[in-house]
Amino acid sequence: MELKSFLGHSKNYISANFFLKGLTFLTMPIFTRLLSPSDYGVISIFTTFVGFFSIFFMMGLDSSINLYFFEKDKVYDEFLGSNIIFISVTGSVITVLILLFLNPLAGLISVDKSIIVYALISCILSIPITLISSYFQMTQNSRKYSIYNILKYSCITILSIILIVNLENSKYLGRLYAELCVSAILFVVLLPQLLKLTKFNFNIKYIKYTFIVGFPLIPHALTQIILNFSDRIIININSGENDVGLYAFAYNIGMVINVVIMGMNQSWAPIFYGKLRDEKYRDIINLSPKFISIIFSIALLLIVFSRELVIILGEKRYYSSFEIIPFVVLGYVFIFLYLLFANYAFYYKRNLRISLFSMISAAINIALNIIFIPVYGYKFASVSTMIAFLILFLIQYIDVRNYVKKSNLIPLSKFFFRFLILLAGFAYFYLINLFVINFALELILNLIVSGFLIFLIFSYKPVIFKTT
């Protein structure tokens, strides 16, 4: 019965995640034909600010809710009420500070101050749905969780298209207005539901709990934002919104591999943790090549067909960005390899080290972008991100080797040969694009080469250990 429940909820969460990511991917041909690269860039910067502000407004409350719900002798309504009062006070202070320093902040990152204000409003309006979503998740109401999130982003997408089509100038405002409108409606609908779960009897012990559980995760969340979005801010400062739009478009295509990685990791993690608990280390080692082969094959296809994907999903103004995609994909392959070994760290509760390694990776990414984007242009941001993700993987792997016996760890030999095949596909992509050849001929060559390389990935047979 528990297994059936687990699979049912997993299906709802994964389906919702794939729907939302798929919606973004499938609507790219529409938005790239309605929006200029500059408009696309402004929307990307707006999204960056919403994510950044949300971390500080929530103060880790969404994470602490997830854990507190399972505490013994919990008083959930008082816990929620106390923390809502707390984040309302801190949020008010943050809002005042942002508005006081609005002009210098907008000038520093070369963006219109209205974008920052819209992002601030969107962040505030999204708080009820974030808290309600956490509650649904903990009460195993995955159906409502999925419905609310699918409804929100479907409505934003449809309304965005309608508004963009009807706007003559500053078409990016259609996307911003749509998000503000939908968020405002959900705020009005969900706030009464949230208040029913809440008792405003302030108790400092509940704030301390959130500080202990949720607050330490803020640096990790910030580094994820920095790793994924700081490049857009630095590009905007150096070369403007048009290059941000080109970069964001290509990056979003490359990030498709991350949707697959995260979805499969959700399925892999329970199996992995169960095998670790039962000390069936050889089972993990023998199962991992299948997981690795699937991810590497999808990555290979995205790399080899990068130019074709840009032509299908974008408009001519976006075509020049296709060279970014292979670096983005390769970067997320390193994230996949990082997760293979970070799962060990999560199991052995090395969370502080995970945050530290993420911060190191983010710092390297920012430094490389600041130094090289002014010299080589916006396309180098994909290279710096790939390097940062590679270093993140290497640091995590070296650290895990300090507390997991080498014989119990997934060996590098399980993916090294397959990775070389992936690099061959990477090299082929840039080699074939040195020559101007017929599009149909290139497509045929891509199919033959990718098919052959994927065959090699799956046919490679390392030494198989007997399971215990």
CA 275 remoteness from chain centre: 27
Q: How far apart are CA 157 and CA 37, in angstroms?
A: 18
Q: Are 142 and 9 in contact (CB under 8 A)?
A: yes
Give pLDDT tens digits for 21-38. Answer: 677 777 888 888 898 899
* Orientation of helix 281-304 relative to helix 413-432, angle to 10°: 0
Which residues, in sequence order, are CB contacts of 358 under 8 Å at separation 6+? 219, 220, 223, 224, 227, 392
% of the chain at pLDDT higher than 70: 87
Q: How far apart are CA 225 and CA 48, in angstroms?
A: 7
Residue 325 has pLDDT above 90, yes or no: yes
Amino acid (one-letter) located at 306: S
Which residues, in sequence order, are CB contacts of 304 under 8 Å at separation 6+? 425, 428, 429, 446, 449, 450
pLDDT on residue 14: 59
**pLDDT, average across residues 310-325:** 88
Give pLDDT tens digits for 175-221. Answer: 999 999 999 999 998 888 888 888 888 888 888 877 776 676 677 77
pLDDT on residue 1: 43
**pLDDT, average across residues 99-105:** 91
Q: Are 42 and 235 in contact (CB under 8 A)?
A: no
The H or E element containing residue 205 is helix 204-213
Two tokens, residue 458: 């799956």
Q: Are 310 and 250 in contact (CB under 8 A)?
A: yes
pLDDT on residue 160: 94
Q: Are 165 and 33 in contact (CB under 8 A)?
A: no
The lowest-confidence range among 161-175, 235-249, 349-363 is 349-363
Rounded to the nearest 5 degrees, what angle is found at the Cα of 350, between the Cα atoms of 208 and 385? 100
Give pLDDT tens digits for 373-392. Answer: 999 998 999 999 999 999 99
**The model's pTM:** 0.76
**pLDDT, average across residues 310-335:** 90
Which residues, in sequence order, are CB contacts of 132 under 8 Å at separation 6+? 148, 190, 193, 194
Among 229, 188, 54, 251, smallest CA distance to 134 is for 54
Please provide the average confidence, as pLDDT, over all residues in the chain. Answer: 83
> What sign for the dihedral angle of Cα 381, 383, 389, 392?
negative
Tokens 């309608």 belong to residue: 162
Residue 121 has pLDDT above 90, yes or no: yes
pLDDT on residue 275: 78
Q: Spell out the alpha helix ranges (H) of 278-350.
A: 281-304, 306-313, 325-347
% of the chain at pLDDT higher than 90: 29
Residue-wise burial string across 164-197, b where 16 or more C-beta atoms lie within 10 A, e elsewhere = beeeeeebbbbbbbbbbbbbeebbeebbeebeee
The H or E element containing residue 269 is helix 256-277
Which residues, in sequence order, are CB contacts of 170 under 8 Å at separation 6+? 39
3-state percent helix, strand, coil for the chain, nearest multiple of 5:
85, 0, 15
Q: Concatenate the DSSP letters of all residues of 95-124 into one string.
A: HHHHHHTHHHHHHHTT--HHHHHHHHHHHH
Give pLDDT tens digits for 268-281. Answer: 776 777 777 777 87
Residue 315 has pLDDT above 90, yes or no: no
Q: Are 425 and 304 in contact (CB under 8 A)?
A: yes
